[in-house]
Every structure is written in C-alpha cells, then in structure tokens.
Amino acid sequence: MNIATAITRFSMASIAGSIISVGLNPAVVYAFVTPVSSSLRLEANSNAGSGLVTDTYTDSQFKTINSLGAAVAALATSGNASVLSQAQVTSIWKNSYEGVVTFTDVGWKTINVNSGLANLYGGLDWSYEFIADTTGFLTMDYDVKESGTSTFGLNAFLFNWSKPGGDAAFLPNTSGTIERTIYAGQTYTVGLKNFANISGGLGTREAMMSGTFKWKIVSVPEPTTILTSLIIAGGFGVVRHRKNKHSQKAIIKDS
C-alpha cells in the first residue's frame, strides 16, 4: 500500500468516525407549535347490584398550557356488596411542544358482588389540540403498569391521533415509543384514553393500572443544518489526520 492510499483511507475513516460521533441527526430541534385547546375528562361508573353510580370530572383550557388535573371515584353499594371505581390523571406542559401525562389508580375494588360492573372508559381522559408551525414529528414514550389480585378488564390505554398514522393501544406492563408525522400549517389532536371495564359476577377483587406518557414535538432538521454537521465532522477528521501525520514525520526523522 502506498503512502497516498494509506493517507486517503485514514482520512475517510477519521471523517466517518466523526460523523458517527456527531450523528447525522443534529441536536433535537423542538417545534414551536401553537396550542389550541386541551382537556382532561374522567368518568367512573359503578354498580354493585342496586343501580348505577357515576362520577365525572373535567378540567380544560383554551390557548394556554397550564397544568391540569382530574380525579373521580364512584362507590356503589348493595347490601354487603360494593364496587368502587376510580381514576386520577395529571397533565403538565413544560412548554407548547413538550409535556407529560400521568395516570394513577385507574381501576376498581369490589367486595361480594354477584352481578355488577365497574368501568372507567366513558370519559375522553386527555387530549391536546395544536397547530404545527413546522414539519416534524410527535413522539411519545409510554410506560404502563398494572397490579392487583385480578387484573382482568384493565385492558389498555388507547392512543388517539387525528391524522394518518392512526391510533394504537398501550397494553399493561409494556413500555416503548410511538411516533407520528406532523406537517406545517395543519391542526392535530393527540389523546389518551383508558379502556378499563369489567362486568358480571365480580366477587371480591382489586385491579389498578397506571401510565406515564412523555411526549414531545420536534421539527425536521433543515438540509443546511445536516450539511453543517457533516462539514464539522469532516473538519474533525482532517485535524486528526494532520496531527497524526506530523507525529509520524517526527518519528521517521528521529530514526
């Protein structure tokens, strides 16, 4: 291998290594979306055999991004039988393009129920409507857990998306990330809704579900930004090559 070939390969390897270190995707650029509205609406329904008991709670806002919170609890009794359905949720916006939604104690406690029901999916739970100022992506990290003596009926949290890409289900004891594309100038609504419900001979049982959902909206990097990153990466490679080249000359001269 001649010296020119060796230097060329060394330079390309240095540049490639720098690109991997810097990344083809520059630092995350958040999209400054315009909030339209957001809301929490929980609904709990219970029946221990003598009729339906319902509790609802709504918290909403228009064009602002204040923290929201809601909690419901519906207790139904029939003789020595009882059903308690309950749920809590909070929504915190760090800004218009990033936040976290936390559900806790979504479920029920039943005692001696021969025929009854508990359901919590009657509300809209959480929704956020916004206008995308730039083209990019909405990503949501989810972590769903369940606990109790019998967790049948908790089912899932449903991810609702108003545009192509569609809805999804986040099952208990799963975690991951979901992504949807957004386009500048369009209005989007993202939502979360629990699907917890059970009916029949409930007996004595307890089941609870929780979920943490961290979301953010990021823009697609401009081509010039990507090019700048590549140029910087290439520059790092050239500097490294020149430094090594001088070192090699010094060694040859001394020998």
Per the structure block, which two tokens stand in for 73? Answer: 């609890």
From residue 35, how far is each of 63, 89, 125, 131, 167 by CA, in Å? 5, 20, 18, 6, 21
- What type of residue sits at position 233? A
* Contacting residues for 231 by C-beta, under 8 A, at least 6 apart: none
pLDDT digits (tens, 9 = 90+) for 187-228: 999 999 999 999 999 999 999 999 999 999 999 875 544 444
Task: State percent of the chain over pLDDT 90.
Answer: 72
Residue 123 has pLDDT above 90, yes or no: no
Q: How confident is the model at residue 254 (pLDDT cuts 50, 70, 90)?
A: very low
What's the rounded Cα separation, in Å, for the pair 37 and 203?
Answer: 41
* Cβ neighbours around 242 below 10 Å, total: 11
Name the 3-class secondary structure at 30. Answer: strand
pLDDT of 239 reads 45
pLDDT of 163 reads 94
Average model confidence (pLDDT) across the chain: 84
Q: Minimal CA–CA distance to 183: which of 1, 31, 11, 71? A: 31
Per the structure block, which two tokens stand in for 138? Answer: 């909405």
Q: Minimal CA–CA distance to 211: which of 178, 247, 234? A: 178
pLDDT of 126 reads 98
Find tokens 């230097």 and name the residue. 7
Q: Give the predicted TM-score (pTM) of the model.
A: 0.78
pLDDT of 244 reads 52
Task: Tell me which of 115 and 10 has the higher pLDDT.
Answer: 115
Alpha helices in the chain (DSSP H): 3-22, 223-254
Average pLDDT over residues 3-12: 40
pLDDT of 236 reads 47
- What type of residue sits at position 166? G
pLDDT winner (highest mean) among 2-6, 21-25, 137-141: 137-141
The string of DSSP letters for 185-221 reads T-EEEEEEEE--EEEE--EEEEEEEEEEEEEEEEEPP
pLDDT digits (tens, 9 = 90+) for 42-55: 999 999 999 999 99
Average pLDDT over residues 119-145: 95
From residue 246, how far is each of 241, 251, 252 by CA, in Å? 9, 9, 10
How many helices (H) and strands (E) the chain has is answered by 2, 14
pLDDT of 12 reads 36
pLDDT digits (tens, 9 = 90+) for 57-104: 999 999 999 999 999 999 999 999 999 999 999 999 999 999 999 999
- What type of residue sits at position 234? G
